[in-house]
Structure 1
Amino acid sequence: MLTFAHSTYFHDLLAGFSAGVVIANSKGRVYASNPAAAALLGETPEHLAAPATARAIVGRTDAPRRLARFLAAPIKHGRKPEPLTCLYRHPDGRDRHLRLSASLLLENEKIFGILFEIDDMTEIFDLHARERAMLLGIQAAQHERIEGLGRFSLAVAHQIRNPLMVIGGFTGRLLRRHPEGDPDAAALSMILDGARRLEDVVRAVSRYATRRAPAPIMADPADLAIRAMAAARTRTGLAAPLVLDADTGLVRLDAPLLEELLTELLANALEAVAGRPSPGVITVRWRRRDPGLCLEVTDQGPGLPEDIRPFAFDPFFTTKAVGVGMGLPIARRNAEELGGDLELSSGPDGGCLAVVRLGGR
């Protein structure tokens, strides 16, 4: 083999490889390399054969210990190592991402050498870096757009609220001066109802557009559910039995965000069971799910029809005769700010099932 390794044919064969190739004997001494390896490592073939050069090359990487173990695996342990990717500081001052793999050269089932292959992965890494920068740029632009829309929405809501308060206030005063049955009283009542409904829209838009960073604290999920149910009953003027199943103990989360989310879900559940011959119960279940927390709200209402399910989280979408249609969008927004998601589906026994999955806490 040694005679063949010094032949012209062998060196011409090595030169034909586009990847860098370095061949060492069973003791780790380099006895052959190709021009591609010399160019990738920034050393002449003669220098690559010197042990001092090998130590210098190892020292130019970002992972000298891992590279040393990679090189020692076939020499000391007689096994093929897993491919290794490292950052290499070329003598010309530029960094290159190199991928190294090794193959054992066997004769009569004995190792007589090791072939190291070196591939330059710099262009691929640079491409991934450019793609990542582009995606981060897109995300930043989207975030800025969302923030801009939020500021715009708050500004519009503020501008509407001021004249709305004047309209509602003076309409109320005029209405008090007209006795019931007065033709003008009916018209004034319609104006006042419209002003109040518009005020509800402005309030919902303000809540939806206002964002803040979560502030996690240790909280009792059962207590959050009880408070959210009380708030939902007050808002809707409706009532239904609550079944609470919470065996998680204290959890770390943003309590106001989650309570607001739960209030929206429970208000929807109360409205879903209202007016039914047998309203049934509303169930809130908390479970720890690796790696986080799962919250389920189930009602025994008519359920969520398939034809409106795709639009359930669209702002201002509502099936009610009088409604704003911002409860579920706010609930989903809160779930996302808590690092989770919100999904709606049919319950196991009918009705609607809302599932909130929160990340690890």
Structure 2
Amino acid sequence: MLPSPPDQYPELMHHILNMVNSAVLVLDADKRIIFANSRAAQLFNCGVAELKNLDIDQLFMPEDLEIMVPNILKITRDASEYEGETMLKRQDGSSFLGLIFTSSLAWKNGRGIVLTIHDISNLKKLERMLKVSGRVAFLGHLLEDINHQIRNPVQVIGGIAKRLADRQTPRVEHVQAIVSASARLEKLLDTLNFFIKLPRPRLRPVLLHEVFETVVPSLTALARQHGVDWTVEADDNLLQESVFIDTELLAKALHEGMANACEAYDDKHHEKTVQFRLMTTQRPDQPYALQICDRGPGISAQDMPLVFSPFFSRKSKHLGMGLTIAQRIQEEMDCDLLLESSGKTGTCLTYCLVKERRRMIRLRKMPD
């Protein structure tokens, strides 16, 4: 907590605060601005005199006045400080993303507040650019693997076609090999096309029971196709909760995880089971999750770091893109995908789900 405002040397204090390369505002107990430094005037595109005596509400967006602003003030007065990001409004009507630091200030008839504000709009743009650059770099590495994956079936087709050209009567196995290699190549190209052109998620609040109605029938069909017994577990109360997702993309991610679980078993396994369940987590930002578990042999410690890598598979004739696609979808929805595996208990894939993109400080007003 800052000390009481000094009665002596006010001009010196003003001079010092004007030298600070951050916007500084001082509020009295009635949340009116009693001091603004020159950097604050620049940030809000007005003069210092225009900021003085303004209610701090006039610098926030209208949608944040009922809940977020009172919460920031209460947190500051109760805990002596606050730090967070929010959109702020300039006097000319434009807006910017501000990083706010607040401190409690002892005042004559209550508690005042000091705010330090930084415009981080450009930093957020840079963050988005870096995210895009990371994807571009990933696709660059992916191209090297694509080159290898395409060359193999093309060489098979070319080699066998050459043999056929030397024969008057084609052999059935040669024709079948060409058909098989062509099918693999077609599947590879379709998968890569989906992965590279993955649409931006259309995120919206969706009740979990709607998610189940969408995904369970297709997952059931996939389990039957692989001869796998599977169980579905979901608490009725949890099914009434909502999550912020793109249902269609989540269904695709779950399909890839389910296929991976079904393929964990080989012909030696007499009992093939997969469990699909809705669960809660200990994560405030991602409080719910969908989990797919198998009882297969598990993933070795040396393979665990590679399971989400493109084209990684220990099974022949598998592309090894399923979990890569699932992870990419989860990342696009700002959700985590967790994997646990053991030789004794099998493998569990956990799809964490965001309930609300807005922070709690913007959702619920704190009690007085």
- TM class, shorter-length: 0.5 to 0.7
Give deviations 1:305-352, integer Å, cap 9, x for gaps.
111000000001110122101011011112222331111112696111
User: In structure 1, what is the Cα distance between the partners aligned to 2:15 and 2:82?
Assistant: 19
Tell me which amino acid in the other structure corresponds to 2:239.
G
Point out which structure has higher relative CO (alpha carbons under 8 A, 6+ apart).
Answer: 2
Give deviations 1:44-92, integer Å, cap 9, x for gaps.
xxxxxxxxxx99748754785579xxxxxxxxxxx9995799x9x9xxx
Residues 1:82 and 1:261: Cα distance change in structure 2 (over 3 Å): closer
CA contact (8 A) 1:343 1:354 kept: yes
What SS does structure 2 have at the residue aligned with 1:356? strand
Q: Which residue of 2 aligns with 1:146?
A: 135
Q: Does residue 198 in structure 1 map to residue 185 in structure 2?
A: yes
Q: Which residue of 2 aligns with 1:109?
A: none
The partner residue of 1:336 within 292, 313, 331 is 331
Residues 1:228 and 1:63: Cα distance change in structure 2 (over 3 Å): farther
Give deviations 1:274-310, integer Å, cap 9, x for gaps.
3233324110001244554211111110011111000
Tell me which amino acid in the other structure corresponds to 1:272.
A
The correspondence of residues 266-285 of structure 1 with structure 2, limited to 5 A, is 266-285=258-277
User: In structure 2, what is the Cα distance between the partners aligned to 1:222 and 1:98?
Assistant: 45
What SS does structure 2 have at the residue aligned with 1:23? coil
Residues 1:214 and 1:22: Cα distance change in structure 2 (over 3 Å): closer
User: In structure 1, what is the Cα distance between the partners aligned to 2:256 and 2:309?
Assistant: 15
Query: Whose helix fraction is larger, Structure 1's or Structure 2's?
Result: 1
Residues 1:141 and 1:56: Cα distance change in structure 2 (over 3 Å): closer
Tell me which amino acid in the other structure corresponds to 1:146.
R
User: In structure 2, what is the Cα distance between the partners aligned to 1:350 and 1:279?
Assistant: 14
- 1:239 Cα deviation from its structure 2 partner: 1.2
Q: Does residue 137 in structure 1 map to residue 126 in structure 2?
A: yes
User: In structure 1, what is the Cα distance between the partners aligned to 2:17 and 2:269?
Assistant: 81
What SS does structure 2 have at the residue aligned with 1:339? coil
CA contact (8 A) 1:222 1:244 kept: no
- 1:246 Cα deviation from its structure 2 partner: 1.8
Q: Which residue of 1 aligns with 2:279?
A: 287
Residues 1:83 and 1:360: Cα distance change in structure 2 (over 3 Å): closer
Tell me which amino acid in the other structure corresponds to 1:140.
M
Residues 1:102 and 1:209: Cα distance change in structure 2 (over 3 Å): closer
Residues 1:178 and 1:347: Cα distance change in structure 2 (over 3 Å): farther
The partner residue of 1:228 within 211, 219, 241 is 219
- 1:254 Cα deviation from its structure 2 partner: 2.4
Q: Does residue 357 in structure 1 map to residue 334 in structure 2?
A: no
Please, what TM-score do these two structures have when normalized by structure 2?
0.57
CA contact (8 A) 1:282 1:299 kept: yes
Give deviations 1:119-149, integer Å, cap 9, x for gaps.
9968xx47xx4xx735632531441563697
Q: Which residue of 2 aligns with 1:245?
A: 233
The partner residue of 1:302 within 294, 297, 306 is 297
Residues 1:83 and 1:312: Cα distance change in structure 2 (over 3 Å): closer
Q: Identify unmatched segments of 5+ residues in structure 2.
A: 19-31, 37-48, 58-76, 91-99, 357-368
Q: Which residue of 2 aligns with 1:6?
A: none
CA contact (8 A) 1:294 1:357 kept: yes
User: In structure 1, what is the Cα distance between the partners aligned to 2:234 and 2:101?
Assistant: 53
User: In structure 2, what is the Cα distance between the partners aligned to 1:249 and 1:138?
Assistant: 35
- Percent same amino acid among aligned pairs? 22
Residues 1:312 and 1:351: Cα distance change in structure 2 (over 3 Å): same
User: In structure 1, what is the Cα distance between the partners aligned to 2:10 and 2:188?
Assistant: 74
User: In structure 2, what is the Cα distance between the partners aligned to 1:327 and 1:80?
Assistant: 49
User: In structure 1, what is the Cα distance between the partners aligned to 2:195 and 2:33?
Assistant: 61
What SS does structure 1 have at the residue aligned with 2:309? coil
Residues 1:302 and 1:349: Cα distance change in structure 2 (over 3 Å): closer
What SS does structure 2 have at the residue aligned with 1:273? coil
What SS does structure 1 have at the residue aligned with 2:6? strand
Give deviations 1:170-207, integer Å, cap 9, x for gaps.
x7xx89x998xx6x433332222222212221111112
Q: Identify unmatched segments of 5+ residues in structure 1.
A: 1-19, 25-31, 43-53, 68-78, 90-96, 105-112
